Amino acid sequence: MKENYFYATGRRKNAIARVYLKPGTGQITVNNRALHDYVKRDTLKMIIEQPLVATDMLGKVDVKAYAKGGGLTGQSGALLLGVARALVKSDEELKPVLRKGGFLTRDPRMVERKKYGRPGARKRFQFSKR
């Protein structure tokens, strides 16, 4: 990609998304597949497109992204953050709109680790009185 593009990274849970943004016709590709082929759930598609809709850039920029790690929900959250960060790099005046929508805040929630002597992070084995 030697053209004029803007790069940003987004993270969520264990997913990492590398996002490349350039002026175009509104094509969104994830891992070299169209968005509707990669993400089947409408809610996840909506999550990814939210920063573009909020800034009225849907259909004006092409998004090429590479997502890895985690599941589809985590990857969608990572793509959301990556797209928002790339939009800010492309135009600094979009920052207040994206900040107000909460698109520039990295979601810090992670899966709690499993503890020793227990079947999960918080679950206990069944108590037996006798």
- pLDDT tens, 62-86? 999 999 999 999 999 999 999 999 9
Q: What is the percentage of the chain residues whose pLDDT exceeds 90?
A: 90
Q: What CATH number is given for 6-101 in this structure?
A: 3.30.230.10
pLDDT of residue 1: 46
Task: Tell me how far apart the alpha carbons of residues 48 and 19 are, in angstroms, rounded to a whole number.
Answer: 11
d(CA 23, CA 95): 18
Q: How far apart are CA 122 and CA 115, in angstroms?
A: 8
| CA 25/CA 111 separation, integer angstroms | 38
* Phi, psi of 79, deg, nearest 5: -65, -40
pLDDT tens figures, 115-130: 999 999 999 999 998 8
Q: Which candidate, 70, 3, 5, 63, places its Cα nearest to that of 31?
A: 63
Burial of 45 (0-12, 13-18, 19+ CB in 10 A): middle
Share of the chain above pLDDT 70, in %: 98
- Model-level pTM? 0.88
Domain boundaries, the chain: 6-101
Question: Would you give the distance in Å from CA 49 to the centre of its chain?
Answer: 10
